[in-house]
Amino acid sequence: MIERARILDAGDPLAQYRDRFHVPEGVIYLDGNSLGCLPKATPDRLVEVVQGEWGEGLIRSWNAAGWIDLPQRVGAKIAPLIGAQPHEVIVADSVSVNLFKLISAALMMRPGRKVVLSEPGNFPTDIYMIEGLEAQGLAERGLASRENLIDALNDDVALLLLTHAHYKTGELFDMAALTEAAHQAGALVLWDLSHSGGALPIDLNACGADFAVGCGYKYFNGGPGAPAYAFIAERHHGDVRQPLSGWMGHARPFAFSDDYEPAPGVDRLLCGTPGILGLAALEVGVDLIAEIGIERLHAKSQALSEFFRQCLAEADLDMDLVSPSDPAKRGSQLSFRHPEAYAICQALIARGVIGDFRDPDILRFGFAPAYLRFADMAEAVRHLAEVLETGEWQRAEFRERAAVT
Amino acid sequence: MIERARILDAGDPLAQYRDRFHVPEGVIYLDGNSLGCLPKATPDRLVEVVQGEWGEGLIRSWNAAGWIDLPQRVGAKIAPLIGAQPHEVIVADSVSVNLFKLISAALMMRPGRKVVLSEPGNFPTDIYMIEGLEAQGLAERGLASRENLIDALNDDVALLLLTHAHYKTGELFDMAALTEAAHQAGALVLWDLSHSGGALPIDLNACGADFAVGCGYKYFNGGPGAPAYAFIAERHHGDVRQPLSGWMGHARPFAFSDDYEPAPGVDRLLCGTPGILGLAALEVGVDLIAEIGIERLHAKSQALSEFFRQCLAEADLDMDLVSPSDPAKRGSQLSFRHPEAYAICQALIARGVIGDFRDPDILRFGFAPAYLRFADMAEAVRHLAEVLETGEWQRAEFRERAAVT
């Protein structure tokens, strides 16, 4: 397999981009869907921001270095990668906080309806933010399994909130069909793009989506806890009111008025003072993904994961795939169920093959196409085969579950 | 004056600490109350976090580099500086977002009461977050002027929300007396320490405070848009429920359960994934302030501002002081009213004396005691006198108001 991998790498039009990232020596990193690698340009940019803009420019840099426009500037760069117009996307806060803003906004736009519908097993924070509004008495949490979602779209549903690519399995929702069904039922739709944005083409506006949020630290390589992005379709720009109405989302923040007046459009999603270090690092990652191009990234992502499966087959490893076998129906990951998933994951990490484990029994491999090679696939499968054949995962140090994984 | 200043600087026990900060050449920085200066240790720490922990450690650094505990670790370091126990303070999100969490929590703890009482002219975001909950139908905004606040504490008031040091005038509230009065009326109290934390000793627990929030980028020198801190008195740890119930505030985030269960104590104030770059930079600033010592900082802050007033008197500049003349009753700033405040501020900035302007007619000078010298006071007043005497503030470029200041 390693020979086939080398041929594929030699013909890979994205091969050159691996060198734009710092990939640690001796590591095969199959967890870029959890925390993306460091772009090599990021440290220099941060030195410039910290020493130049903060250290020398101080408070003047809010204008002189354009800090005040950074949330909009980075949002506008993300926009074409998710099928949005530049003025429909802004970077602010975390995915969780943006979920709260947009769920709240949807509930205010659908008075008389209280249900926010999602699926059980959605990424926890999505469900927990519905629960937060439930604790306030403003929402009712509705959960229906994938196959029953459309039937569950009744007159009580204000909002359908789904994660485009499932964090465990990578299974994709049909964004256009579900958005259409929700609209038919009079509900709005909020797409969480955390596990798909930056890895595959998304067309929010073609699908008629109302709202979206997404993560900066996975495929956009913005760094640990990078700020998140949020989208509001232009047709809703006048109607959205969200309760996290901080001063940076005011129409004239520096008038210091006692009365809140929302800024136009997506700017009203801003709340407190934006974190400039996080935003500056995210911009570097977004620029790089935009330069490589989302269509090419998607093509390589599919090729990588299909090659990984071929390597598994050739090694005669009969792993229990829980991701869709059709690459068009999954995000940039493959997940497998195994009763010893945790110990196997630990044994692989000890060998420098970093994937991750998701409770209770999922072994998850992410294929960040910007910096992975086909050779990494062949090598990862070789390690996996050795771990399974030697039974080294049975060693005590791999079986002991840490409190946090 | 400059001779007296030199004598004072020679006897200043904190003089050595100026060298621990990057203060730009030719700048007298009287705006550390808006954005603190860069500690010289910050760039190296960020390089370590970015290249070492993120670049090399990747996802493993959540445990190996202690990222997962950073919100608690930095919170515990801030705690003694504000009169709190280490487990009562956490760093998360922005001041605005934390205000929303704690106002919401207070409303849930006082069912049947809806009024959140503050003063007109409080920092806008404090008032706007009340308005956000008002838009949700959960709160009623109550505003009463300083002298009428205690009378306004009636049976409808769930929460008294005040900023300890006023952002424009620097005037301090009597934290103990107002907390006591609010409790007498059955209300809870939330103190915004943004303009006092890190500059003067605060004793939240001695005052019986319930909740507090504060800013990381002013006197704590955490960098532009640094994350904020939040305090919950231990006696409330079991009762607080807040609606921004994201996965990081879950008792077991990595169990990925569908059902939210709040983490113990202040940990439940966490929402999304914490921004590590911002947290790491903040930690450096907090460490430095803790090392210098809050009592010494306060003593120097008072000496600096009093010396500034002496310089003004000696230069025969009759400025209209709007800050309390008693240094015990104000934060680390002096503010003056002048009809041409904006133009004067611009003319001073052009000379390298950076203070700031607050709408409509306030000229505000902040005295960050960690890195300012008495000589800076004498020089700043000399420049102010020249700007006023020559009338150079009347030049067109200084009078033209920018959209954002």
* Residue range A6-53, pLDDT digits in tens: 999 999 999 999 999 999 999 999 999 999 999 999 999 999 999 999
Residue B14 has pLDDT above 70, yes or no: yes
Q: Which of residues 8-27 of B touch A (CB under 8 A)?
A: 22, 24, 27
Of B305, B302, B298, residue with least CA distance to B381: B305
Q: Which residue has the tokens 């923040």?
A: A253
A89 has which bridge partners? Answer: A231
User: pLDDT band at residue B402, thresholds of 50, 70 and 90?
Assistant: low
CATH number assigned to the domain with residue range A43-291, chosen from the 4 options 3.40.640.10, 3.40.50.300, 3.90.1150.10, 3.20.20.70: 3.40.640.10
Question: What are φ and ψ of residue B117, in 5° steps?
Answer: -95, 130
The CA-atom distances, in angstroms, between A274 and each of A212, B94, B120, B124 are 19, 8, 25, 16
Of A261, A191, A167, residue with least CA distance to B131: A261
B224 is in an annotated binding site: no
Separation in Å, CA of A124 to nearest CA in chain B: 6
Of A30, A22, A34, residue with least CA distance to A353: A30
Whether B43-291 and B2-30+293-399 are alike in CATH topology: the answer is no
Give the three-class secondary structure for B252: coil
Question: What are φ and ψ of residue A41, in 5° steps?
Answer: -80, -15
pLDDT at A1: 86
pLDDT per residue as tens digits for the range B303-330 = 999 999 999 999 999 899 999 999 999 9
Q: Does residue B260 sit at the A interface (CB-CB below 8 Å)? A: yes
Q: Which residue has the tokens 């110990």?
A: A343
Q: Please report, for chain A, the start and end positions of each structural domain, with discontinuous segments joined by +.
A: 2-30+293-399, 43-291
Residue B272 to residue A94, Cβ atoms within 8 A: yes
Q: Does residue B257 sit at the A interface (CB-CB below 8 Å)? A: yes
User: pLDDT band at residue A405, thresholds of 50, 70 and 90?
Assistant: very low
B167 is in an annotated binding site: no
Q: Which of residues 56-115 of B touch A (CB under 8 A)?
A: 56, 58-63, 67-68, 93-97, 100, 104, 108
Other beta carbons less than 10 A from residue B169's beta carbon: 22
User: pLDDT band at residue A359, thresholds of 50, 70 and 90?
Assistant: confident
pLDDT per residue as tens digits for the range A109-166 = 999 999 999 999 999 999 999 999 999 999 999 999 999 999 999 999 999 999 999 9
User: pLDDT band at residue B154, thresholds of 50, 70 and 90?
Assistant: very high
The whole-angstrom separation of Cα B214 and Cα B291 is: 19
The CA-atom distances, in angstroms, between B327 and each of A52, A129, B14 are 34, 45, 19
Residue A345 has pLDDT above 50, yes or no: yes
Strands, E assignment, B120-222: 140-143, 157-163, 188-192, 211-214
Give the three-class secondary structure for A170: coil
A172 has which bridge partners? Answer: A165
Separation in Å, CA of B44 to nearest CA in chain A: 9
Half-sphere exposure of A151 (CA within 13 A, CB side): 5
The CA-atom distances, in angstroms, between B185 and each of B110, B153, B188, B191 are 12, 6, 9, 17
pLDDT at A403: 46
Strands, E assignment, A176-265: 188-192, 211-214, 228-232
Q: Does residue A133 sit at the B interface (CB-CB below 8 Å)? A: yes
Question: What are φ and ψ of residue B25, in 5° steps?
Answer: -55, 135
The whole-angstrom separation of Cα A208 and Cα A204 is: 6
The whole-angstrom separation of Cα A356 and Cα A31 is: 7
pLDDT at A323: 98
Residue B401 has pLDDT above 90, yes or no: no
The whole-angstrom separation of Cα A209 and Cα A79 is: 13
Give the three-class secondary structure for B267: helix
Chain A interface test: which of B70, B97, B219, B244 (most A C-beta within 10 Å): B244
Burial A285-312 (b: 16+ CB within 10 A, else e): bbbbbeebebeebbbbbbbbbebbbebb
The CA-atom distances, in angstroms, between B175 and each of B27, B201, B214 are 35, 12, 15
Residue B399 has pLDDT above 90, yes or no: no
Separation in Å, CA of A284 to nearest CA in chain B: 13
Other beta carbons less than 10 A from residue B259's beta carbon: 11
The whole-angstrom separation of Cα A373 and Cα B177 is: 66
The whole-angstrom separation of Cα A333 and Cα A329 is: 11
- Residue percentage of chain A with pLDDT more than 90: 96
| Position with higher pLDDT, A403 vs B394 | B394
Residue B94 to residue A124, Cβ atoms within 8 A: no
CB A95 within 8 A of CB A194: yes
Residue B228 to residue A272, Cβ atoms within 8 A: yes
The whole-angstrom separation of Cα A253 and Cα A262 is: 10
Q: Does residue B358 sit at the A interface (CB-CB below 8 Å)? A: yes
Chain B interface test: which of A245, A284, A345 (most B C-beta within 10 Å): A245
Helix (H) or strand (E) holding B97: helix B95-109
Other beta carbons less than 10 A from residue A276's beta carbon: 29
Output DSSP code: residue A213: E
Of A26, A34, A37, A24, residue with least CA distance to A350: A26
Give me chain A's average pLDDT, please.
Answer: 96
pLDDT at B403: 47
Q: Which residues of B are catalytic?
A: 123, 192, 217-218, 364
pLDDT at B397: 87
Segment B11-35 shows an average pLDDT of: 98
Residue A77 has pLDDT above 80, yes or no: yes
Helix (H) or strand (E) holding B150: helix B149-152
A192 is in an annotated binding site: yes
ipTM above 0.85, yes or no: yes
The CA-atom distances, in angstroms, between A210 and each of A88, A169, A192, A200, B324 are 10, 25, 12, 20, 51
pLDDT at A402: 57
pLDDT per residue as tens digits for the range B92-105 = 999 999 999 999 99
B131 has which bridge partners? Answer: none
Residue A402 to residue B63, Cβ atoms within 8 A: yes
pLDDT per residue as tens digits for the range B104-125 = 999 999 999 999 999 999 999 9
Helix runs in B294-373, H state only: 294-314, 341-350
Q: What is the CA radius of gyration of chain B?
A: 22
CATH number assigned to the domain with residue range A2-30+293-399, chosen from the 4 options 3.40.50.300, 3.40.30.10, 3.90.1150.10, 3.40.50.920: 3.90.1150.10
Separation in Å, CA of A262 to nearest CA in chain B: 10
Residues of A in contact with B50 (CB under 8 A): 38, 42-43, 46, 223, 281
Q: And the tokens for A399?
A: 């079986």
CB A12 within 8 A of CB A374: yes
Chain B interface test: which of A273, A362, A405 (most B C-beta within 10 Å): A273
Q: Is A19 a catalytic residue?
A: no
Residue A203 has pLDDT above 70, yes or no: yes
- Residue percentage of chain A with pLDDT more than 70: 99
The whole-angstrom separation of Cα B131 and Cα B242 is: 17
Give the three-class secondary structure for A312: helix
A211 is in an annotated binding site: no
Pairing state between β B228-232 and B211-214: antiparallel
Q: Classify residue B135 as exposed, middle or buried by CB count within 10 Å of its CB (0-12, 13-18, 19+).
A: middle
Query: DSSP for A33-51?
Result: TTSPPEETTHHHHHHIIII
Q: And the tokens for A338?
A: 């195994």
Q: Which residue has the tokens 């806008």?
A: B124
User: pLDDT band at residue B11, thresholds of 50, 70 and 90?
Assistant: very high
CB A116 within 8 A of CB A161: yes
Give the three-class secondary structure for A142: strand
B189 has which bridge partners? Answer: B160
Rounded to 5 degrees, what angle do the CA atoms B224, B225, B228 make? 130
Q: Does residue B241 sit at the A interface (CB-CB below 8 Å)? A: yes
Residue A404 has pLDDT above 50, yes or no: no
Residue A278 to residue B277, Cβ atoms within 8 A: yes
A87 is in an annotated binding site: no
Residue A378 has pLDDT above 60, yes or no: yes
The whole-angstrom separation of Cα B398 and Cα B306 is: 28
